[in-house]
Amino acid sequence: MTSELDGVESPAHVKHRLESLYWNHWMLFPKNFEGRGLPQHVYDELMGILTHGCIDIITSKSSTFPYDNATMQKMIELVQKAKEATSGVEHYTAGTTRLLSVFAHWRFLHFHGQKHARLIRGQSVYEKPKHERSILITLLSPLLFLGPEVHLHEMENLWTDDLIIEAVWKSFVTKQLTEWSDIILWSAVMLTVNVGFLAVPGVVLSNFNGGNLENVHQVIIFSSSSQIVSSLSIEASIGSIVIGMLLVRHIRTKQDADPAEAWEYLYEYSQGMLGLEPLAIIFSLPWAFLMWSYVISRSRRDVLPH
């Protein structure tokens, strides 16, 4: 029963897991018989849990509750209907006990009531040695404008003690999609600017003067420093757009993933020697290519042809 967690020692802690299994049994067999039914105080207790969750989410940005505020509000409305229901009681009982099972399991996962309880999101309940960064991310992070370090920190907080909160995962994916979409737009603007710059007279040098050449084969193009710089900036912009679009397509399929699916996704990428570092590096590439495109294009001020 407690194999999914290490360090379960207190009977009070085991009690939360037993409650989760007990209410899960009610959900599977909600049929009332011989007067058996959910007492009113059970509905009141669940309403208290949901109300506490809403307040905690509103007042804290690091709440460990598994749902967002809008979802909790809908749950309160449904539980209130279930409490007042006079027909279809079995269906309401199944839904209510499902929530009771979920929140009992939530208390079990976060060591509710224990001395080492997880009070805020991202807090570990275990004494672990600090994860040292590999040489790969240490060297690449400055070259990629510290993007990999930012993404790695977010994913480590997201996956603390191998636990994933559904609302936090969806928020993370939505944030990534928005960020990459913005970067793709900015990269397209940079691409347009660089292509337009190449059309400026004098940037591309040649022996063409409009009348002394008999055919196009006699035209000779000379590579100017401005042309080379603009071409490099164009390549960086294209790289940002292409990688950004691939990442958007890839992560969009994970936006509605439940915690189990999200866990499998991160677990798959964390099994190597470098853990989540390669994934963090890949996630930072659109931003890094855009920044390199901007930095390279800014150097044209010193190399414009006279």
Task: Establish if 212 belongs to a structural domain.
Answer: yes
Task: Establish if 294 belongs to a structural domain.
Answer: yes
> What is the distance between the alpha carbons of residues 126 and 132, in angstroms, rounded to a whole number?
17
**Residue 87 predicted with pLDDT over 80:** no
Same-domain status, 139 and 101: no
- The torsion angles phi and psi of 160, rounded to 5 degrees, stand at -65, 130
Same-domain status, 89 and 148: no
Task: Establish if 128 belongs to a structural domain.
Answer: no
Q: Mean pLDDT across the stretch 253-280? A: 85
Q: Whose structure tokens read 């915690």?
A: 259
Strand-pairing partners, residue 221, are 206
Task: Establish if 119 belongs to a structural domain.
Answer: no
Same-domain status, 139 and 83: no
pLDDT at 301: 53
> What is the distance between the alpha carbons of residues 5 and 162, in angstroms, rounded to a whole number?
10
Q: Mean pLDDT across the stretch 179-203? A: 85
Lowest mean pLDDT among 9-18, 122-131, 274-283: 122-131
Residue 148's pLDDT band, with cuts at 50, 70 and 90, is very high
Same-domain status, 151 and 284: yes
pLDDT at 39: 86
Same-domain status, 143 and 264: yes
Task: Establish if 123 belongs to a structural domain.
Answer: no
Task: Establish if 75 belongs to a structural domain.
Answer: yes
Burial class (CB in 10 A: 0-12, 13-18, 19+), 141: buried
- Express as a percent the part of the chain with pLDDT over 70: 88
- Express as a percent the part of the chain with pLDDT over 90: 48
**Residue 238 predicted with pLDDT over 90:** yes
18 token code pair:
């037993």
Counting the structural domains of the chain, the total is: 2
Same-domain status, 163 and 277: yes
Same-domain status, 161 and 29: no
Global pTM reads: 0.80
Residue that is last in its domain, among 74, 109, 144: 109
Q: Mean pLDDT across the stretch 95-100? A: 93
Task: Establish if 145 belongs to a structural domain.
Answer: yes
**Which parts of 134-276 fold into alpha helices (H)?**
135-143, 147-158, 166-198, 225-252, 259-269
pLDDT at 23: 94
**Residue 149 predicted with pLDDT over 80:** yes
Tens digit of pLDDT for each residue in 26-37?
A: 898 887 655 567
Mean pLDDT of the chain: 85
Same-domain status, 70 and 204: no
Same-domain status, 76 and 153: no
**Residue 179 predicted with pLDDT over 60:** yes
Same-domain status, 86 and 168: no
Element (H, E) at 106: helix 89-109
Which domain range does residue 285 map to?
135-302
**Residue 306 predicted with pLDDT over 50:** no
Task: Establish if 161 belongs to a structural domain.
Answer: yes
Which has more pLDDT, 31 or 237? 237
Same-domain status, 93 and 166: no
pLDDT at 33: 58
Cα–Cα nearest to 280, from 145, 138, 147 = 147
Which has more pLDDT, 206 or 256? 256
pLDDT at 128: 76
62 to 121, 167, 258: CA distances (angstroms):
5, 11, 20
Same-domain status, 215 and 274: yes
pLDDT at 264: 86
